[in-house]
Amino acid sequence: MPQATARRAIVIGGSVGGLFAANLLLRRGWDVQVHERATGGLESRGTGIAHHPETEAIMREAGVRDEQAPGVRVPGRCAVDAAGRVVARQDYPQYVTAWGRVFNPLRRAFPADRYHHGRDLVAVTQDADAVTARFADGAQVTADLLVGADGFRSAVRATVAPQVAPIYAGYVGWRGVVEEAEFSPEFAPVFEQFTFGFPGRGQTVGYPIPGLDESVAPGRRRYNFLWYYPVDGGAALTDLLTDASGRAHAYSIPPALIRPDHAAALQADAAARLPAPYAEAPARARQFLVQPIYDLESPGMAFGRVALLGDAAFVARPHVGTGVLKAAQDALALAEALAEAADIPAALARYAAARIPPSRAAVARSRRLGAFIERRLPQPEAEPALGLTLPRLLALSGRPVEGISEGIAD
């Protein structure tokens, strides 16, 4: 436990980025409190993510002691054409996993009495000595450091860099998860694969993930699918984000409020355009998630005693599959910079200098991987100027932007 004289940190946002930062700072002697807007637990939410050894290492450093497999092991990736024929392969053994497989252990590693639900940040003020957060319920807390880990619509960022807004990329990710036991026997050969599909417009991705209980035992796993689906900005996107009561949600819609007619239209489109048996996944999904794809780049990550981290600072499109890893690396760099100096603004400036270049690189890589969807092309090779072949798309997707092997990097 931190000593009475410990430096105090407020973390805004209790998702993966906030929990990486909170755990790492706590274990370096900081007095940390996490303030999360959601009133209920986030445990059961989320779909699939690519997993990386780098994430695992930072989880251990954050205090996670977990002997379970980090996910389901896949040997590589393959691309199938509109008829379901494999047209490209790439060996790349890796774990694919569920978002909860990272979030849940981080949450268990952090003391429950330091994690506060229902705290909606509305204002941040700071002076030379301290920083203060104010919440919608009237509560107010003061500390030496404030970490804005409150996601792509960050209220913290709105106070320090109000000019930054997410830019819609012209397509959404329809996501869903299906229990392994619910599939037909014909789906079995597909279930184990990490597959990229090109149905003529957009792109599909599918892979196995652990069960809700984190089991990777055959029969207890789940299948994660994602369809990058063109939706024009303006009226079409507004309609997709409008719930059954007629309320139009800004930027994203809670999964439970997605209108059944939109989900049914996606399923009909899947039946018409995805090769069998790939259409089974959307057909059998009970709940969908719609993720409009945005680009977001902040001008900085350090503002006096305020640090931005994870999606609050930079959002790379999901093609790179490194959103969780990027947040973890931000958190580690932040904790390390703060360990070296008593001067918090100076430490945060060093943190920003270390993390802005790789964050920009991730955003640029992800834009490149999604450019053919944005341009409404059937696949990247349809436009040679994009400089992206199918094998290269397979090689670059779902893996860290930094430190990948020779011959693969840009």
Chain residues in the site for ligand FAD (CB under 6 A): 12-18, 35-38, 42, 45-47, 49, 99, 119-121, 149-151, 155, 310-312, 318, 323-324, 327
For ligand FAD, give the closer residue by CB, 118 or 378: 118
For ligand FAD, give the closer residue by CB, 277 or 356: 356
For ligand FAD, give the closer residue by CB, 137 or 343: 137
- Please classify residue 91 by burial: count the beta carbons closer than 10 Å to its beta carbon, then call 0-12 exposed, 13-18 middle and 19+ buried: exposed
Q: Is the peptide bond before 275 cis (omega within 30 degrees of 0)?
A: no
Distance CA 282, CA 245 (A): 24
- Cβ at position 292, least distance to ligand FAD in Å: 13
For ligand FAD, give the closer residue by CB, 105 or 318: 318
Buried b vs exposed e over 72-86: b needs ≥16 C-beta within 10 Å? bebeebbbbbeeeee
Distance CA 371, CA 202 (A): 10
How far are the Cα atoms of 7, 326, 364 from residue 361, in angstroms, in the given order? 33, 11, 5
- Cβ at position 119, least distance to ligand FAD in Å: 6
For ligand FAD, give the closer residue by CB, 177 or 277: 177
- Cβ at position 262, least distance to ligand FAD in Å: 19
Buried b vs exposed e over 320-359: b needs ≥16 C-beta within 10 Å? bbbbbbbbbbbbbbbbbbbeeeeebbebbbbbbebbbebb
Please give the structure tokens belonging to residue 223. 């299948």
Backbone dihedral angles phi then psi of residue 276, each to the nearest 5 degrees: -65, 140
- Could you give the count of Cα atoms lying within 13 Å of 111 in the half-sphere of its Cβ? 10
- DSSP, collapsed to helix, strand or coil, labels residue 229 as strand
For ligand FAD, give the closer residue by CB, 35 or 262: 35
State which residue has the least CB distance to ligand FAD.
310
Distance CA 77, CA 142 (A): 48
For ligand FAD, give the closer residue by CB, 226 or 347: 226
- Cβ at position 315, least distance to ligand FAD in Å: 7
For ligand FAD, give the closer residue by CB, 45 or 220: 45
Contact 8, 30 (CB under 8 A): yes
Helix then strand then coil, in percent of the chain rounded to 5, is 35, 25, 40
- Cβ at position 381, least distance to ligand FAD in Å: 26
Please give the structure tokens belonging to residue 188. 């079995």
Strands 145-148, 8-12: pairing is parallel
For ligand FAD, give the closer residue by CB, 74 or 277: 74
